[in-house]
Structure 1
Amino acid sequence: MRGVRVITRDSRDLLGEGPLWSMRENAVFWVDILGRRINRLSLADDNVTSFEQPDHAAWIIERTAGGFVAGIGLDMVRLDLPANRRKIIGQVDRGIQGNRLNDAKADAAGRIWAGTMPITCDRPTGAFHRLDPDGGITRVDGPYTIANGPAIDPDGRFLLHTDTALATIFRFDIREDGSLGARQPYIRFEPAWGNPDGMTFDAEGGLWVACWGAGCVTRFTPDGRRDRSIDLPASQITSCTFAGPDLDRMFVTSAAVDVDEPAGGALFEVDPGCRGRPTLMYRG
């Protein structure tokens, strides 16, 4: 497709997710949840390296103190790369068999908001959690069947979160103490749009949403109106992030699980025609 670059590498992701732009490393990181690995693309030379994990690798976020924090299985861990050393901060959904972490974002206060879901994607046993800089973990909402795509207002006023199984993006006000206001429907997806997955804001306040099943990323205006889409040569599009020194490059993840597509599970680069916002980090 015109304007779409497939990142060259030796493998595809079963379930690519959670792309993260790191300015200090000049690299894009992302996970293969089912492949249990974290990937790194160097923007200096397009070299891709991977780091195997002991359980489902749900997300990776930078720490202001250096290194990363990651969601591995149901554990939130401090992660050093390239040494690939992990130290557990805490665990979510204790006692719930068959759940795993799925998708997370940091906010301007240095907290992390992360969802959980059943590995089987078929029952509402998941929840939404907040990891504070002091390491405390609080369940803030639930239940969810496929918790997905946090997008955080950089000013810390509100966040967006979705249950992909409900084809709805929800909006929550963030109170000063870190608690959330009532869950309010924000965008309800029509069947032709696919289902909402990972999300990110651009510098103009537009919301870019990866559309699972529809083979595209779609931009919505701040008032929730569908603005434009970029088509991709894979149906299961999972998430997107702005990258590069000028935040004018967009990288998009996808999944190969349960489909027979040449580009399924690829990492794509597209020209979004706009700029993104700086990456937010965990302060713990």
Structure 2
Amino acid sequence: MPSTDPFMNKVAIVTGAAQGLGLDYAAALAARGARVVISDLGTDRSGEGRDPSAVSVALQALKDQGFDVVAHVGQLENEDECRQLVELAIAQFGALDILIHNAGWVDYQGIETQEQAFLDRALGISVHAPVWLAKHAWKHLKLSAAPRIVLTTSDRAMYQRYSQPGLVAYSAGKMAQVGIMNALSMEGLAHGILVNAISPVAKTRMWGVTLPPEELKPEWVTPGVLYLASALCRDTGYILRASNGQFTATRFSENSGVSYPRDLARVEASSLAEVAERWSSIKECHYLPFKVANTRTDLGESPVWDPRSGALYFVDLTGGRIHQLLPDGEVTVLYESAARIGALALTDQGNLVFTEDASVAILDVAQGKVRQYSASVHHRSSYRFNDGACDPQGRFVTGLMDEGPSGKTGALFRFDGELHDEVIHDDLALPNGLAWSQDGQTLFFVDSVSRSIYRAEYLEEGRLEHVTLFAETPAELGRPDGIALDREGGLWVCQFNGSCLLRYDRHGHLTDQVVMPVPRPTSCCFGGAAMDTLYITTARFGMSPAELRHYPDAGDLYAIRPEVGGLARFAFKE
């Protein structure tokens, strides 16, 4: 075992560890050098009874593998039993770094037949136990270099669509752990104690499973719990959903624009009649993506809103087409080419500046014809321009990329009104989305390969200074693609192969995640009369026939309506 393992010589408590998920967590920790206290009362599926032999069998199995483990049997809804468990860890190992509360049970009892004892058992293990454990562990965790608490919640409690009749007691306890997590995560900030929760789906005895399952295996949840329990995790207050070897992190996030508690930045109503009248708006989920048009683009990109005509322009990059979405919802092909069209922008004359392979052109919208071309900036056919936008001075900036594996050969080019070019930044692998701040003094741009969003000071002459990393998007959420800015300075980014959009505030902190119904959102722009609609292009490019059967709407045009409207884009000066 390498001494650099994050669990080497750490001390962990794992509850509900005689079998199933808890036993797998304990074994994984011990295998990586942790010293572990396992606790289990040995109850049945209704939380009743006591069988010390269950934890004894687990203890022996772990010791047979050479692990440094001790066992505890106790009723954890009782504060004294929780104190004794923590004291056992300190007496045996001299410290405490990790507390994983996995203990729990699932049984059903309808609301009309709900019994006091049944409810008390559910709340005892899911509410009292984590509170008492945290209380007595806290002073020891404060001494740890990387103190971590992992609680356990459930999708069946958090999501109405997954709930089932008879789970009132279970759901009350599991939702309570979300509240406990939130409160402890704030209380722990001053001491570096990070508190998160796992929401696992696994076939264990709670499912009535006795043989090893072929799917939803407990061991497929364990890597996520190990991460939350390790020094590698730097976040607090997150719920990690885990199922079938897949993970997604979530949390309850506030709407943009809220000034709590006095201003919810939402619908106002002062009477029953007004609430009833405005109910559809009150319950509206502004971040729920809705389809705008069935476009079926292979690689939709570069949406641009035209406030004068109320039209939306966008491209099909690999299809070589510029599309126009008219105010009546009709989608037309405005221009078609054998070349790859990577990006476009409006001009001050109502035309379009756009890229064809490694050159830039101006399209006369009324005539549907190109009237001006730049010289190609690269002789190799694998090179092409990707995303682009106009700077405050009316020049077009676009990123050159190599579709072949050539490393960091990408660069940002700036084109003036005569389509003369100049490189303003290089050393990029896959330059992508660009957007300017409202005052035009800051440029944000993406390098998709490194999953990086950069921020730079943009000088009036069109040079970049002080280029710094603004945000690095999560590896599990695909790669960043096109971006747009809202009026609060928030940056929205499409996550290609990540099935979502992310929003970062002006400081680079992730504030929102919008799940898309298709896996490959590509680019976005604000539009609409009030600039309150975020249009989103998507792609079918590279998807297998099986994936397309599963996501038949891939390549269509979508939109969301965020709480905060967006910034209009600058136009190209012809």
Fold conserved between structures, TM > 0.5: yes
Task: Give the 5 Å matches for 1:1-284.
Answer: 3-9=288-294, 11-43=295-327, 45-50=328-333, 51-120=335-404, 123-259=407-543, 260=547, 261-284=551-574
What CA distance in whole angstroms lies between the structure 2 residues aligned with 1:121 and 1:53? 25
Instruction: Report SS of the residue matched to 2:343.
Output: strand
What CA distance in whole angstroms lies between the structure 2 residues aligned with 1:109 and 1:101? 21
Q: Which fold has the larger relative contact order, with Cα–Cα distance below 8 Å and residues 6 or more apart in sequence?
A: 1
What CA distance in whole angstroms lies between the structure 1 residues aligned with 2:552 and 2:366? 30
Instruction: Report SS of the residue matched to 2:476.
Output: helix
Q: Structure 2, unaligned stretches of length 5 or more?
A: 1-284
Instruction: Report SS of the residue matched to 2:553.
Output: coil
Identify the structure with the greater strand proportion: 1
Give the drift of 1:142: 1.3
Q: 1:84 to 1:249 in 2, by over 3 A?
A: same
What CA distance in whole angstroms lies between the structure 2 residues aligned with 1:264 and 1:120? 25
Asked whether the equivalents of residues 99 and 125 of structure 1 are also in contact (C-alpha less than 8 Å), the reply is: no
What CA distance in whole angstroms lies between the structure 1 residues aligned with 2:557 and 2:355? 20
Asked whether the equivalents of residues 115 and 126 of structure 1 are also in contact (C-alpha less than 8 Å), the reply is: yes
What CA distance in whole angstroms lies between the structure 2 residues aligned with 1:21 and 1:135? 22
What CA distance in whole angstroms lies between the structure 1 residues aligned with 2:361 and 2:446? 24
Asked whether the equivalents of residues 526 and 532 of structure 2 are also in contact (C-alpha less than 8 Å), the reply is: yes
Give the drift of 1:132: 2.0
Asked whether the equivalents of residues 93 and 99 of structure 1 are also in contact (C-alpha less than 8 Å), the reply is: no
What CA distance in whole angstroms lies between the structure 1 residues aligned with 2:494 and 2:457? 23
Identify the structure with the greater helix proportion: 2
**Identity percentage over the alignment?**
27
How many residues were matched structurally?
282
What CA distance in whole angstroms lies between the structure 1 residues aligned with 2:431 and 2:569? 21
Q: 1:211 to 1:173 in 2, by over 3 A?
A: same
Of stretches 223-232 and 178-187 in structure 1, the one that deviates more from structure 2 is 178-187
Instruction: Report SS of the residue matched to 1:91.
Output: coil
What CA distance in whole angstroms lies between the structure 1 residues aligned with 2:373 and 2:466? 28
Asked whether the equivalents of residues 31 and 39 of structure 1 are also in contact (C-alpha less than 8 Å), the reply is: yes
Q: Structure 1, unaligned stretches of length 5 or more?
A: none
What CA distance in whole angstroms lies between the structure 2 residues aligned with 1:53 and 1:168? 31
What CA distance in whole angstroms lies between the structure 1 residues aligned with 2:400 and 2:570? 21
Give the drift of 1:122: 5.8
Of stretches 120-129 and 249-258 in structure 1, the one that deviates more from structure 2 is 120-129
Asked whether the equivalents of residues 18 and 59 of structure 1 are also in contact (C-alpha less than 8 Å), the reply is: yes
Instruction: Report SS of the residue matched to 1:138.
Output: strand
What CA distance in whole angstroms lies between the structure 1 residues aligned with 2:374 and 2:395? 14
**Which residue identity does 2:392 align to in structure 1?**
A
Of stretches 203-212 and 88-97 in structure 1, the one that deviates more from structure 2 is 88-97
Instruction: Report SS of the residue matched to 1:192.
Output: helix
What CA distance in whole angstroms lies between the structure 1 residues aligned with 2:406 and 2:553? 26
Give the drift of 1:104: 0.4
What CA distance in whole angstroms lies between the structure 2 residues aligned with 1:167 and 1:79? 32
Give the drift of 1:108: 1.6
